[in-house]
Structure 1
Amino acid sequence: MRLQGEIAIVTGAGRGIGKEIALALAAEGASIAAVARTLSDLEQTVAEIKEAGGDAIALSRDLTDISQVQSMVDAVVEKYGKIDILVNNAGGYPKEIYDITKNQAIKIWDWSEEQWDQIIKTNLKIPFLCTNKVIPEMIKQKKGNIINISSRMGRIASQMGAYACAKAGIVTLTKTTAIQAQEYGIRCNAIAPTILDTPGQRAYNHSVGQDEIKMGNADCMGKAALYLICDAPEVMTGQVLDLFPTV
């Protein structure tokens, strides 16, 4: 129970990667604030945590809205008195960014402004807003741990347009946050996974005719998050943990 007494916010915790991380942190004793838009998904995550003897609350919020981000922070502080861990996982991409008729991602010159803005907002603005509102609470206690979820697509050249650009932005957001927050005892690192086997990813693969694509096991994300929080050296900050083959 290495995280006994710790309070963790996990965004996008209703399913997939966020759920895996929430369950892993809870298994080590952390109390979890599971946050996403869909309350029914969050309630399932919370139920599983409680069934295993853990503690969790579900908070339905639109995290693209700064007032709702502040409401999330206020609710967690009111319930638990502090915030020790923030996992910025919420994000994703719509099937419309892939042209199934041509079996390729939409070209950068064919993106609409609305598509671009929406994906940047979902994948880069949300982590910024959550970090912006959570760090002041961490500064009060002179400690904290932030984990941002990037992607393999943000680490190498990718066809995935705005999504890849947003996930690359996560890497720089991580490093900037680490530099600026380290004097307050706050660490910020990122995880960049390959394509993982989650219900959402399987549904996306099916929608674009790629059911055969090879995927990694999603439980690796919980293990990676625990490593960064519990096992990594205290001086490790501003780093990206790549979870994909390099050869």
Structure 2
Amino acid sequence: MTPLLAPPLTARPLQGRVALVTGAVTGMGAATARALASATVAIGHYAQIDQARTALDEVRRLGADGIEVSADLTDPDAVGLMVSQVTSEVGPVDILVNNAGAYPRMTWHETGEAAWSRALDVNLTIHYR
């Protein structure tokens, strides 16, 4: 079993790099942010400030610096602002992990056209921007 706070690579090959991980507050996104902790890590989230701070604290405990950035990735202007914030606060993004995603928490039969459209936007379209 992998420990919750696996140490970053000991050689620190990402030192001096900036990694932006979207959807970085839980699950695979949080694990990816921890794995990249030999870089400076930007924890991307959408209105999940407490979880983002927890994820950032975990990255910092592993010896990395970082910030948290909130953005609605379905809004192209917000994406640009997020990248500008990361660039101005910690430097240009060298590593981008498009991990953000969501799905309707309902049965297939209950999923209407609006929910389907939202799922496509969040899980497919935002990664194109």
TM-score normalised according to structure 2 size: 0.85
In our comparison, the structure showing a higher alpha carbon Rg is 1
Aligned equivalent of 1:2: 13
Aligned equivalent of 1:79: 89
* Backbone CA RMSD of aligned residues: 1.3
Q: Write the distance in 2 (CA, Å) between the matches of 1:115 and 1:34.
A: 26
Correspondence for 1:63 among 73, 83, 104:
73
Aligned equivalent of 2:128: 128
Of Structure 1 and Structure 2, which has the larger fraction of its residues in strand? 1
Q: Write the distance in 2 (CA, Å) between the matches of 1:2 and 1:40.
A: 30
Q: Write the distance in 2 (CA, Å) between the matches of 1:67 and 1:23.
A: 28
Residues 186-241 of structure 1: CA distance to partner in whole angstroms, max 9, x if unpaired? xxxxxxxxxxxxxxxxxxxxxxxxxxxxxxxxxxxxxxxxxxxxxxxxxxxxxxxx
SS at match of 1:95: coil
Query: Structure with the greater relative contact order (CA < 8 A, sep ≥ 6): 1 or 2?
Result: 2
Alignment of 1:88-237 (within 5 A): 88-96=98-106, 98=107, 106=108, 111-129=111-129
Given residue 114 of structure 2, which amino acid in structure 1 is its aligned partner? E
Query: Shift in Å at residue 111 of structure 1?
Result: 4.2
Query: Shift in Å at residue 83 of structure 1?
Result: 1.1
Correspondence for 2:33 among 22, 31, 37:
22
Pair 1:50-2:60 in alignment: yes
In 2 relative to 1, CA 94–111 (structure 1 residues): closer, same or farther, beyond 3 Å?
A: closer
Gaps of 5+ in 2: 1-11
Q: Write the distance in 2 (CA, Å) between the matches of 1:81 and 1:7.
A: 7
Q: Write the distance in 1 (CA, Å) between the matches of 2:54 and 2:15.
A: 22
SS at match of 1:68: helix
Q: Percent identity?
A: 38
Query: Shift in Å at residue 81 of structure 1?
Result: 2.6
Given residue 44 of structure 2, which amino acid in structure 1 is its aligned partner? V
Q: Runs of 4+ in structure 1 displaced over 2 angstroms? A: none
Residues 170-199 of structure 1: CA distance to partner in whole angstroms, max 9, x if unpaired? xxxxxxxxxxxxxxxxxxxxxxxxxxxxxx
Query: Shift in Å at residue 62 of structure 1?
Result: 1.0
Query: Shift in Å at residue 22 of structure 1?
Result: 0.3
Of Structure 1 and Structure 2, which has the larger fraction of its residues in helix? 1
